[in-house]
Amino acid sequence: MTEIKMVAVDLDDTLLSGELRLTGRVKEAVAAARAAGVKFTISTGRMFRSAAVFAQELQIDIPLITYQGALVKNSLSGETLLYRPLPLVYAREIITRVKRSGCHLNCYLDDRLLVEKHTSESIRYASFSGVEAEPVGDFLEFFDRDPIKVLAISEEPLLDRLSAELKPAYEGKVHIVKSKPHFLEFSHPLATKGDALAFLAGCYGIGREEIMAVGDSYNDLEMIRYAGLGVAVANARDDVKKEADYVTSATYGDGVVEALEKFVLNALGSKKLRGAPDGAVAKRRCTEACNRGR
């Protein structure tokens, strides 16, 4: 098996416990992988400021993939390497059509969580994400530039109908994906975890066959497909399990630990790792790749 040099892991329902915490086992396994020279990062639909809290707890020193891949940013230096917002013309159309359906809407700009007004959904989401929601009034009047993402919150059957209606209309223009049963997300067409992972791997000169990606939901499919080793945790959606190269027997963070032990830590054993590019080289590669992606 090819040596794994980079690992990208989803946060919610994957790396985090059911109580939205990093367990001691997870911290130990991630620290062991990083100590062995493996590049470990978070790949999440969450806001950067929400994900950065966990990245700092894990002492992650490489850029994070956030907003489904719309923003790749380093939590230590604050340097933005990749930014792909949702074009305003499509954002305004999506907002109009989603509001018509009766769903709650979140919008994101400048790493701020924006709502038209506080609702039970906005209160629950703010509690879940650890970020306070800011009411700004009518989104169509408020937005004068591209938001990074639009999120609809409702019951799953309604979101499934909305997705089926909008995907054909915005094919190639907007990436539409369900991240949780009650979350339907709208972003730049290239704002996927797979595209962002390919970009980040290029920064470090790491090939896709040297990457392991771990997730649980539909928004993880692109990175699971891209990685040389795609892993689904035991609590993943069945459609995601079908596309994974390996499905763990354990759920949530314990599943991530299982994958790290099986494919990274045990595989490395006492083998001496070849050195990854130093900081200056990696930064130059990131800059070059970012310029190509603009």
- Is the CB of residue 4 less than 8 Å from the CB of residue 212? yes
What confidence tens digit (pLDDT) does each residue in 268-283 have?
663 433 344 444 445 5
What confidence tens digit (pLDDT) does each residue in 144-163 have?
999 999 999 999 999 999 99
Boundary residue ending a domain (187, 219, 234): 187
Same domain, 134 and 163: yes
Boundary residue ending a domain (147, 168, 187): 187
What confidence tens digit (pLDDT) does each residue in 25-35 have?
999 999 999 99
- What is the extent of the structural domain holding 243? 6-83+192-293
138 noted as active-site residue: no
Boundary residue ending a domain (146, 164, 187): 187
- Is the CB of residue 4 less than 8 Å from the CB of residue 267? yes
Same domain, 198 and 162: no
Same domain, 75 and 215: yes
- Catalytic residue, chosen from 10, 216, 220, 254, is 10
Does residue 134 belong to any structural domain of this protein? yes
Alpha helices of 59-174 — where are they, by DSSP H?
88-101, 120-129, 139-142, 156-169
Same domain, 78 and 198: yes
Does residue 103 belong to any structural domain of this protein? yes
Sheet with 64-66, strands from edge to edge, namely 64-66, 71-73, 80-83
Does residue 98 belong to any structural domain of this protein? yes
* Total domain count, the chain: 2
Which CATH number do you get for residue 131? 3.30.1240.10
- What is the pLDDT at residue 172? 96
Same domain, 53 and 144: no
Which CATH number do you get for residue 203? 3.40.50.1000
Within 8 A by CB and 6+ apart from 186, the residues are: 86, 90, 91, 94, 149, 150, 151, 152, 166, 174, 175, 176
What confidence tens digit (pLDDT) does each residue in 172-230 have?
999 999 999 999 999 999 999 999 999 999 999 999 999 999 999 999 999 999 999 99
Does residue 1 belong to any structural domain of this protein? no
